[in-house]
């Protein structure tokens, strides 16, 4: 999980790339007559349609940047592992690298952001093909979101409420609710990525009261999207879209909009100086996870951790740009797509399907040695046409005796193949 306290609570409300847009109605009923009012209870709040932009975006970038980026060691939970759990590895790290009595707050002045250039970050995120950044963006028309942790490990008011078994709300009244209202009114985020909810119920956090205000009266009421982390009883049950858990991977098509959040660094969400190459998720793994997620109706949120100076290290840039390059060819099958009647064919090529209206996209992760792609699910008609994204000419196809659709892939030199992995077949006139 991605929670820390005080100094790293909100991940940089600095890049406001674009103003709040006109109401993003998901159906005509939201654009005519008086707006619906949502009451502070889950049946009402859960009935709110998700603004359309989120489902259309599909890919976003998560940014974890805070005081934990100064020690930049172990994980972004550095403070907790060191001071609360007193893990030997963290105790030894501090003893070997910092003077006695050095506190977590002493890292603060070293969080300089000296080389932080927001325009450069924005250019990189746009080149990645993302449509949301959390710290956050879902890009296309850049959508900006904020991460917000409800709990704070060492805040005295939170510890007081916790000692009282969350039957008091000193922390919520004095800290969390004023902070959340201020964040929305001041920065007007398109998305609030709530976290740190798991120790107290939603009634302790006053989540439903906040969300009813957010949906009814806030300056972003028509466009804002939230996740499901609003109390220990909420994950995968209440809220806007579902995170369920970090790196959530459903095996079948869920009946509710969901998101997979994951990190390029498999061991941490924040930047680590002790990161090694084997800790880095490969380009193939990132793109195959993106394809799988979108095919199953989800959004894919990919995390990076900048340095304390505000630099995004080259390996993170490389991964983001690889995704952008792939989406530059195959984005038609991803952005604003919908799950098809069949999501996956388990065979040697690993085919995942998406759709847009009558058009079907078959994204295969492995190129068949024979050069012939076999598809079981599409039913051809007299008007069937098949192409490959990134290639101009139609592809030849036939039906084999077993009724599989056989698609004859182009014979191309390596330099002419549209992408290195995960190729998209576009099918029109199929059922």
Measured CA to CA in angstroms, residue 390 lies from 287, 397, 427 at distances of: 17, 18, 14
Please, what is the average pLDDT of the chain? 90
pLDDT attached to residue 20? 30
Cα 369 to Cα 373: distance, rounded to the nearest angstrom: 9
pTM of this structure: 0.91
pLDDT in tens, 207-227: 999 999 999 999 999 999 999
CA-to-CA dists, residue 119 to 135, 158, 323, 404, 429, angstroms: 15, 37, 20, 50, 43
By the 8 A CB rule, do 225 and 194 touch?
no
Rounded Cα gap, residues 188 and 180, in angstroms: 11
pLDDT at residue 16 greater than cutoff 80: no
What is the band of 313 on the pLDDT scale with cuts at 50, 70, 90? Answer: very high
pLDDT exceeds 50 at position 243? yes
Residue with tokens 């985020």: 189
For residue 315, pLDDT beyond 50? yes
Residue 124 neighbours by CB distance under 10 Å: 18
Q: What pLDDT band is residue 378 in, cutting at 50, 70 and 90?
A: very high
Question: The tokens of 2 are what?
Answer: 């991605």
User: Picking from 144-148, 354-358, 397-401, 414-418, which range would have the lowest pLDDT averaged per residue?
Assistant: 414-418
pLDDT in the model for residue 138 = 54
- pLDDT at 9 > cutoff 70: no
Determine how many CB atoms are found less than 10 A away from the CB of residue 7: 16
Task: Identify the pLDDT of residue 12.
Answer: 37
pLDDT band at 156 (very low <50, low <70, confident <90, very high): very high
Residue 171: the pLDDT is: 98
Beta bridge partners of 183: none
Q: What is the pLDDT of residue 31?
A: 53
Predicted pLDDT at 132: 53
Centroid of chain to Cα 271: 18
Read off the pLDDT band of 197 (50, 70, 90).
Answer: very high
Question: What is the pLDDT at residue 131?
Answer: 62
Residue 14 clears pLDDT 70, i.e. is over it: no
Provide the pLDDT confidence category of residue 417 given band limits of 50, 70 and 90.
Answer: confident
Check pLDDT > 60 for residue 19. Answer: no
- Mean per-residue pLDDT for 357-384? 96
Tell me which residue of 138, 218, 160, 229 sits closest to 186, measured CA to CA.
218
pLDDT > 60? residue 90:
yes
pLDDT over threshold 60, residue 238: yes
pLDDT tens digits for range 23-76: 445 444 445 567 899 999 999 999 999 999 999 999 999 999 999 999 999 999
Region 164-192 average pLDDT: 97
Residues 6+ apart with CB under 8 A from 220: 20, 184, 188, 189, 190, 214
Three-state SS string over the chain comes to CCCCCHHHCECCCCCCCCCCCCCCCCCHHHCCCCCCCCCCCHHHHCCCCCCHHHHHHCEEEEECCCHHHCCCCCCCCHHHHHHHCCCHHHHHHHHHHCCCCCCHHHHHHHCCCCCCCHHHHHHHHHHCCCEEEEEEEEECCCEEEEEEECCCCCCHHHHHHHHCCCCCCHHHHHHHHHHHHHHHHHHCCCEEEEECCCCCCHHHHCHHHHHHHHHHCCCCCCCCEECCCCCCCCCCCCCCCECCCCCCCCCCCCCCCEEEEEECECCCCCCCCCCCHHHECCHHHHHHHHHHHHHCCEEEEEEECCCCCCCCCHHHHHHHHHHHHHHHHHHHHCCCCECCCCCEECCCCCEEEEEECCEEEEEECCCCCCCEEEECCCCEEEEEEEEECCCCCECEEEECCCCCEEEECCCCCHHHCCCCCCEEEEEEEEC
């Amino acid at each position: 999980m991605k929670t820390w306290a005080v100094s790293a609570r909100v991940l940089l409300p600095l890049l406001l790339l674009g103003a709040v847009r006109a109401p993003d109605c998901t159906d005509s009923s939201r654009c005519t007559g008086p707006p619906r009012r949502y009451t502070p209870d889950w049946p009402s709040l859960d009935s709110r349609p998700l603004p359309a932009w989120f489902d259309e975006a599909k890919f976003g970038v998560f940014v974890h940047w805070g005081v934990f980026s100064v020690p930049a060691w172990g994980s972004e939970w550095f403070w907790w592992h060191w001071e609360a759990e007193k893990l030997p590895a963290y105790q030894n790290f501090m003893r070997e690298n910092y003077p006695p009595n050095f506190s977590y707050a002493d890292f603060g002045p070293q969080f300089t952001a000296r080389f932080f250039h927001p325009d450069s970050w924005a250019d990189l995120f746009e080149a990645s093909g993302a449509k949301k950044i959390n710290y956050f963006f879902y890009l296309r028309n850049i959508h900006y979101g904020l991460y917000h942790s409800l709990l704070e490990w060492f805040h005295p008011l939170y510890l007081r409420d916790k000692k009282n078994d969350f039957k008091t709300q000193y922390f919520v009244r004095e800290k969390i609710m004023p902070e959340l209202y201020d964040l929305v009114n001041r920065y007007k985020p398109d998305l609030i990525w709530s976290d740190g909810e798991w120790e107290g119920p939603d009634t302790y956090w006053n989540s439903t009261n906040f969300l009813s205000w957010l949906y009814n009266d806030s300056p972003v009421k028509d466009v804002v999207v939230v996740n499901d982390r609003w109390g220990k009883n909420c994950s995968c049950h209440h809220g806007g879209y579902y995170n369920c858990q970090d790196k959530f991977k459903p095996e079948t098509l869920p009946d509710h909009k969901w998101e997979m959040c994951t990190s390029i660094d498999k061991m941490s969400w924040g930047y680590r100086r002790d990161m090694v190459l084997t800790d880095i998720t490969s380009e193939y793994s990132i793109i195959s996870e993106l394809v799988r997620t979108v095919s199953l109706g989800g959004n894919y949120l990919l995390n990076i951790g900048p340095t304390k100076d505000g630099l995004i290290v080259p390996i993170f840039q490389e991964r983001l740009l690889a995704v952008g390059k792939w989406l530059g060819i195959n984005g038609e099958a991803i952005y604003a797509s919908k799950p098809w009647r069949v999501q996956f064919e388990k065979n040697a090529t690993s085919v995942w399907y998406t759709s847009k209206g009558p058009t079907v996209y078959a994204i295969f992760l492995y190129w068949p040695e024979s050069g012939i792609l076999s598809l079981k699910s599409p039913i051809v008609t007299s008007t069937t046409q098949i192409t490959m994204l990134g290639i101009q000419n139609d592809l030849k196809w036939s039906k084999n005796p077993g009724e599989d659709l056989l698609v004859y892939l182009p014979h191309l030199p390596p330099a002419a193949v549209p992408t290195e992995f995960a190729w998209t077949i576009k099918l029109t006139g199929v059922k």
